[in-house]
Structure 1
């Protein structure tokens, strides 16, 4: 299938013209298809996912477990890498307009920043009006340190912000305690402060284990 990634390659393989391929696609004889990359799950991972799904069912017996929990008290967190810029940017310009001048010291080594976002399920009242959108916040993995020497950009000892390049369990725990949990406490609706709030994360190795994170928080 890698040799059929575009209509031109398909026409070459079939020995026909590109216009014929376009007519075949218009008639529905061929169709575009995208293969998304799937996670490599082991049998243990599949069992754990199934066990997690079953734990969200409401009921005391297999016969009564037919409805899932609302999960209004669950906060989902996840990380995402963002590049400072791209090697090339596409834009439509009017006649005579010049494109933006973008530059970097190296096009091979572009700075990347990792952010951790936290969201919850939106809340609606009986009139189906959104009373809380569930947005907690998004936080960058960063730290500050003083400069070691004077330069034309800043003075010696001035605090500068730097990116955390390696995200491990210590950084994940620090993110939970210093940013995510205080943001949840500040933005969670006052009408539900008496209930337990759960933080759900995926199974990345750099994430904090449940026991260690709770011991640190306590």
Structure 2
């Protein structure tokens, strides 16, 4: 029933037109392997191959990323004002290597995947997603209510989280968080093949 109410909320009952989703920001998480065991890479003449190091091809590190996108904004003449890509950020921390290896000396800063819980989600939203929205969105969206839509995973922040609400209201922005309907991944554009395309 909640899914039906969610869908009907985007229909204008007077004109029977759909909402244009211009003020909705979609966020989602995705696991990616740091590299692949067998991978073809095409290089331009003079381009150096990427530096790829793993301890074993059977234990390639997986890292969770958070992506945020919204609908692109076009001018009346059809020119692109904003492409809709807000960013993609890894859930990692930089820690010094405890031991030296043939690849690096001890003490070299390396990226290490972190366990993602509610605290990490909150930090990701406050430190990366919300500043990216304020920096990349066109200026005319500053007074418009913007909605960050996330799925209902247990580790996600609550829509009424005080730290998130404070960060969303700074500098005259009107941003809020909303959960998508349960068992409805098709209501988030990132679950409709976006990650498969990159």
2:87 aligned partner? 137
- Post-superposition offset of 1:73: 1.1
Give 1:172's match in structure 2, choosing from 121, 128, 136. Answer: 121
Report how many aligned residue pairs link the two structures. 155
- Post-superposition offset of 1:202: 1.7
Look up the SS of the partner of 1:178 in the other structure.
helix
Decide which structure has the larger Cα Rg and report it: 1
TM-score, length basis structure 2: 0.68
1:83-102 matched pairs, under 5 angstroms: 83-89=33-39
TM-aligned CA distance change 1:141 to 1:187, over 3 Å: same
2:9 aligned partner? 55
Moved over 6 A (4+): none
After superposition, the C-alpha distances for 1:108-167 in whole angstroms (9 at most, x for unaligned) are 2211111111111011222222221111111111112345x56362354x5443211x22
1:126 aligned partner? 76
Give 2:105's match in structure 1, choosing from 148, 151, 154. Answer: 154
Unaligned runs of 5+ in 2: 43-51, 167-198
After superposition, the C-alpha distances for 1:37-80 in whole angstroms (9 at most, x for unaligned) are xxxxxxxxxx2222211222224xxxx37222112111111111
Considering fraction of residues, name the structure with more helix: 1
Q: Which has the higher contact order (CA 8 A, sep 6+)?
A: 2
Unaligned runs of 5+ in 1: 1-46, 93-101
After superposition, the C-alpha distances for 1:164-191 in whole angstroms (9 at most, x for unaligned) are 1x22222111111110001110111112
